[in-house]
Structure 1
Amino acid sequence: MLTVGDKFPAFKLAAVKAGPEGLGGPGKSFTEISSDSDAGKWKIVFFWPKDFTFVCPTEIAAFGKLAGEFTDRDAVVYGVSTDSEFVHLNWRVYNDDIRDLPIPMLADIKRELSEALGILDKEAGVPLRATFIVDPDGTIQWVGVNGLNVGRNPQEVLRILDALQTDELCPCNWEKGKDTLKPEALFKAA
């Protein structure tokens, strides 16, 4: 599995557009998103195993609710599974929690991105619940991976992004607005 310090793989995937415009019907709902999209921004790329499941929409909706917070931090959020863009669109139409999702849903139907990242579950052949924070240069700065049956915490992903963007030493449970660690001050006190 790729990890911190590795370059995020190049990709070009079909996607259901973000927001209500993503429900414009076939031909109007789709776009293409690549590793070159949103150049110069931080990227949060999270994967879920399958559409039309139980845990997945809770996570997707939670990321959607934080979309404005990520935007405020000059970051974009991409959600990805190995389902097609047509399945994504159908799921959004019929699921109230993700109908107006403000983030795009990418379709890794060939599993190329999931395989390149090394996040496919060995038995089920679907992506694990993996989340990557990628800096504006395309380098992975954080990875979190959960098994298929346990949801993740998007608020924690936002906290980690805040910490990474300080470019300073952040103590355990650090939150935006709190003091970072200053090693020179620690040595002077000793």
Structure 2
Amino acid sequence: MITINQKFPAFNKVAVISADYGKEFGEISSEELVNSDDRWTVMFWWPKDFTFVCPTEIAEFNKNYGEFKDRNTTLIGASTDSEHVHLAWRKSHADLKSLQFPMLSDTSKSLAEALGILESNEKVAYRATFIIDPLGMIRWVCVNDLNVGRNVNEVLRVLDGLQTDELTPCNWEKGQETLSV
């Protein structure tokens, strides 16, 4: 599995970027992750559309979209389902209709495979979360088994810690003192 201090793999994928007719799809590439405006990226993966745990996570990331935006962070959701399945799920699930971030499609499974998060039997992505710095380097990885949802508040806490560029103690939260050496 790819890990911290490694470059996020190159990719160019189709994503659902809107529910508006004629504006549903767009492309997202790894080149967008490397930028000069100090923008961070959080990319989180789920196993399958039209399941039970996945929409709870996606909806929670969406509820916290403003928190990520306030931290100058682009949020991208992803799975190995097609963009058409993403769109159908988004349109049919009440909690997904107003998503503010793209749903990336990795039908070739090439990105999930490059990240090392492809489950061996079903060939779906594990529940993986990557925090990527403005240089395109992975700074945090968390991977859950297929049946365990993640904690969006922990993703925000770690992002805050990384963005301080200082030492943060156990259970540190934004606004608390960092450690001095």
- TM surpasses 0.5: yes
Overall identity of the aligned pairs, in %: 58
Q: Give the SS at the match of 1:6.
A: coil
Q: Distance in 2 between matches of 1:7 and 1:37?
A: 13
Q: Give the SS at the match of 1:138.
A: coil
Residue of structure 2 equivalent to 1:7: 7
Residue of structure 2 equivalent to 1:23: 19
1:14-93 superposed matches below 5 A: 14-17=14-17, 22-25=18-21, 27-37=22-32, 39-40=35-36, 41-93=39-91
Q: Distance in 2 between matches of 1:13 and 1:31?
A: 8
Name structure 1 gaps, 5 residues minimum: 184-190
Residue of structure 2 equivalent to 1:167: 165
| Paired letter, 1:171 | P
Name structure 2 gaps, 5 residues minimum: none
Q: Distance in 1 between matches of 2:20 and 2:65?
A: 21
| Paired letter, 1:121 | E
Deviation at 1:122, TM superposition (A): 1.1
Q: Give the SS at the match of 2:32.
A: coil
Q: Distance in 2 between matches of 1:68 and 1:78?
A: 14
Q: Distance in 1 between matches of 2:135 and 2:164?
A: 16
Residue of structure 2 equivalent to 1:146: 144
Which deviations, in whole Å up to 9, do the C-alpha atoms of 1:73-101 show, x marking residues without a partner? 11001000011111000001100001101
Q: Give the SS at the match of 1:28.
A: coil
Runs of 4+ aligned residues of structure 1 deviating over 6 Å after TM superposition are none
| Paired letter, 2:175 | G
Q: Distance in 1 between matches of 2:23 and 2:161?
A: 38
Q: Give the SS at the match of 2:42.
A: strand
1:129 aligns with 2:146: no
Q: Distance in 2 between matches of 1:126 and 1:151?
A: 15
Residue of structure 2 equivalent to 1:187: none
- Kindly name which structure, 1 or 2, has the bigger radius of gyration based on alpha carbons: 1
Q: Give the SS at the match of 1:158.
A: helix
Residue of structure 1 equivalent to 2:104: 106
Q: Distance in 2 between matches of 1:98 and 1:176?
A: 28
Q: Distance in 2 between matches of 1:24 and 1:84?
A: 18
Q: Distance in 2 between matches of 1:123 and 1:36?
A: 31
